[in-house]
Structure 1
Amino acid sequence: MSNDDQYGGGAGGGYGEVGGTGQTRTRLPDAPADPYGPTRRTPRTSRSLITVVGVVVLLIAAIAFANSAPDTKSDPASDKPPTDSSTAATGTDPVTAKSAGIPKGFAHDEQGAQSAAANFAVALGSDGMFNTSRRGAIVQAVYAPDVAAARQSDLDRIYTDAQFLSRIGLDPAGKAPKGLTFISRTNPVGTKVEKYSADTATVSVWYSALFGLAGEGSKSPVTESWYTNTFELRWIGNDWHITDFTQKDGPAPVGQDQRAATAEEMAAAVSQFGGLTYAR
């Protein structure tokens, strides 16, 4: 497979996270022409203004009505733990142990498999994958022992490719130019169990990804994209590990009409807001 196939083609393409079949792809977002420029707004007509005012009045009335309702005692039946669905928390405490900075010791059940998949998505989408020693530690922590060596070789080839690194604005060592901050962060939105048995699980993770260089003069500004990774997991040595995974685009929501952050604001936000440990 050529580099262009692996990374999705020319400038602004993606890089590949190689799975057991070699078909897994991790694509990076194309940079817009002017991501920090002002967003064009369509002038509002008087009719739309009247509609907005009407909606606001209805909302205020509804809130006032809700606040005027008498207090009632909670039904004891409503204090039951939430059900194990794709959106409700299980109430199970998150793991406390870590390996190479990655949570470990997940529960041997569907909830644990979902927690593991979400945390693995974060690790494999982090900027640590661009650092040789950190990448090795991540691979050993998340992959099953019988596939870790092969994955390590594939990933080293991808993340040390000079053409790929140059295309995203990094030097041959995977470092950002002076004065710029490299950002690669995965933010899981939800998880779903596709299949589950005693020692294997297939879990999909829907997430948004931030990727690019933040700072004055960046030619690869930070952009957001959406993907779904489906992980094949196996229970080995009292924990879940990846045997393979695939990726597809989306589902991507419609973008909100918001002002894009400046390069300085984005760099500050990423440095000030730390990542999370994910648990169902």
Structure 2
Amino acid sequence: MSNDDQYGGGGSHGEVGGTGQTRTRLPDSPSDSYGTPRRTPRASRGLVTVVGVVVLLIAAIAFANQSQDPPPNPASDKPPTGNATNPTGTSPVTTKTAGIPKGFARDEQGAQSAATNYAVALGSDGMFDAARRRAIVQAVYAPDTVAAQQAELDRLYSDQGFLARIGLDTGGKAPKGLLFVSRMNPVGTKVERFDGDSASISIWSSSLFGLAGEGSKTPVSEGWYTNTFELRWINGDWWVSSFTQKDGPAPVGRDQRAASAEDMTAAVTQFGGLTYAR
């Protein structure tokens, strides 16, 4: 994977609107709203010793059980396998068109990688720029669908009412002092259908969309979507013929403090987008 932001961001086409150290913020300890928390009585040394022995015993039993073959489970009890998202070690493709990876393998893994990279490109802020949008559409859509898709996307991304609602000017640009963010972050893929000449690939992803910076009336927010791409194998590569989108599934949000406008702007500019291959 590359840390170069190939398309200028990522988001979701439907809503329209890729590593460093990570710090984990643990939740604060609960406190008594009406006064100083009551001190917990100190446990006796003997009780602490007994508890420690029990914990060690349980750990030893669990470790010993790991070396034994688990009893067979009925097929209906098995969780879904992770084959759709597990990395395979296959080297990424090296060919690009308009900054978008191209030249994927004619197999299920290739189709998944193609759909994922195309989804990131189609969900990027590059789609709000007429020249970049034209290059993206020509790089990912099947030749016989380009004209129709170009016209429809130009109409969508040029809608003045839509641009005004998300805080962009008539040319799809952010106001001075603000940074427009539209970035898609794929979480996993699923092969709905594959027959060698065509494929249907679903991609579950989150998206970041909005304006970062002080005074933004549409701050960057998170959304979750599932995009299903219909792909065709044409002239040695996968191309998009059409795709659909639906909301979710969205996880329960954690109780985390929202980033400041300054921190969000810094994150978007310092952490580049990703390209994907399996």
Matches within 5 A, 1:57-72: none
Greater relative contact order (CA < 8 Å, ≥ 6 in sequence): 2
**Equivalent position amino acid for 1:244 in 2:** S
CA distance in 2, matches of 1:88, 1:162: 42
Going from structure 1 to structure 2, the CA distance change for 1:257 and 1:145 (only over 3 Å counts) comes to same
Residue 232 (structure 1) aligns with: 230
Residue 195 (structure 2) aligns with: 197
CA distance in 1, matches of 2:239, 2:147: 14
Secondary structure of 1:173 counterpart: coil
Residue 180 (structure 2) aligns with: 182
1:215 aligned to which of 213, 216, 230: 213
Once superposed, what is the RMSD of the aligned Cα atoms? 3.2
**Equivalent position amino acid for 1:202 in 2:** S
CA distance in 1, matches of 2:99, 2:259: 29
Alpha-carbon contact 1:16-1:158 (below 8 Å) kept: no
Q: CA deviation at 1:237?
A: 1.2
CA deviations 1:124-143 (Å, max 9, x no partner) are 10000000000000000010
Residue 121 (structure 1) aligns with: 119
Residue 11 (structure 1) aligns with: none
Alpha-carbon contact 1:183-1:210 (below 8 Å) kept: yes
Question: Are 2:101 and 1:103 aligned?
Answer: yes
Residue 249 (structure 1) aligns with: 247
2:15 aligned to which of 23, 27, 50: 27
Q: CA deviation at 1:208?
A: 0.3
CA distance in 2, matches of 1:42, 1:96: 50
**Equivalent position amino acid for 1:207 in 2:** S
Q: CA deviation at 1:276?
A: 0.7
Q: Which has the larger radius of gyration?
A: 2
Question: Are 2:276 and 1:274 aligned?
Answer: no
Q: CA deviation at 1:28?
A: 5.5
CA deviations 1:234-276 (Å, max 9, x no partner) are 0011110000111011111111111110111111101101111
**Equivalent position amino acid for 1:235 in 2:** W
Question: What is the number of residues matched between the two proteins?
Answer: 225
CA distance in 1, matches of 2:12, 2:225: 14
Unpaired runs of 5+ in structure 1? 1-14, 18-25, 30-40, 51-56, 70-82
Sequence identity, in percent?
66
1:154 aligned to which of 146, 152, 155: 152
> TM-score with structure 1 length normalisation?
0.73
Alpha-carbon contact 2:12-2:225 (below 8 Å) kept: no
Residue 262 (structure 1) aligns with: 260
Question: Are 2:166 and 1:168 aligned?
Answer: yes
Going from structure 1 to structure 2, the CA distance change for 1:172 and 1:140 (only over 3 Å counts) comes to same
Going from structure 1 to structure 2, the CA distance change for 1:42 and 1:27 (only over 3 Å counts) comes to farther
Residue 130 (structure 1) aligns with: 128
Q: CA deviation at 1:87?
A: 2.6
> TM-score with structure 2 length normalisation?
0.74
**Equivalent position amino acid for 2:209 in 1:** F
Secondary structure of 2:190 counterpart: strand
List structure 1 runs of 4+ shifted beyond 2 angstroms: 41-47
Secondary structure of 1:240 counterpart: strand
Secondary structure of 1:220 counterpart: coil
CA deviations 1:55-88 (Å, max 9, x no partner) are xx99x979x97xx99xxxxxxxxxxxxx981131
CA distance in 2, matches of 1:133, 1:160: 13
